[in-house]
Amino acid sequence: MAVEFIGKPIEVELGEEAAAAPVSFRLGRKEYQVADVLRRWEDQGFGQEIRGHLDRRSQHQRVYYRLKTSEGEVFEIYADWLASGRQGKRRGEKTKWFAYRRIS
């Protein structure tokens, strides 16, 4: 299995359901349609310790997706968000999406 690291920001369109998954994404000039979500997982281990305790204001979470495109390519992408702390902003306002890698 060949793996190509990408590591670039992308634009993502989400579905309409409550736990919305990506339905398309744009990487560079090319737009990909998602045919299937093969896997989804979360990593919440991005909190930073300050003076021996976890600072919730700087806590990160990543939600990863392994996707198969309509052209048969497999990508892993993730949403990286920073907890908003006292600012009261919604989670989606701090979300950034990245293409992690292409698997073939």
pLDDT: is 46 or 87 the higher one?
46
15 CB-near residues (< 8 Å, 6+ apart): 21, 22, 23
Residue with tokens 């299937």: 36
pLDDT value at residue 46? 56
- Give residue-wise pLDDT tens across range 2-33: 999 999 999 999 999 877 899 999 999 999 99
Tokens describing residue 50 = 């300050």
A 10 A CB-CB count for 74 gives: 16
Mean pLDDT computed over every residue of the chain:
83
In the chain, domain spans: 3-103
CA–CA gap between residue 37 and residue 22 (Å, rounded):
8
pLDDT at 55 > cutoff 60: no
Residue 87 φ then ψ, to 5°: -70, -20
b/e burial code for range 77-94 (CB count within 10 A of at least 16 → b): bbbbbbbeeeeeeeeeee
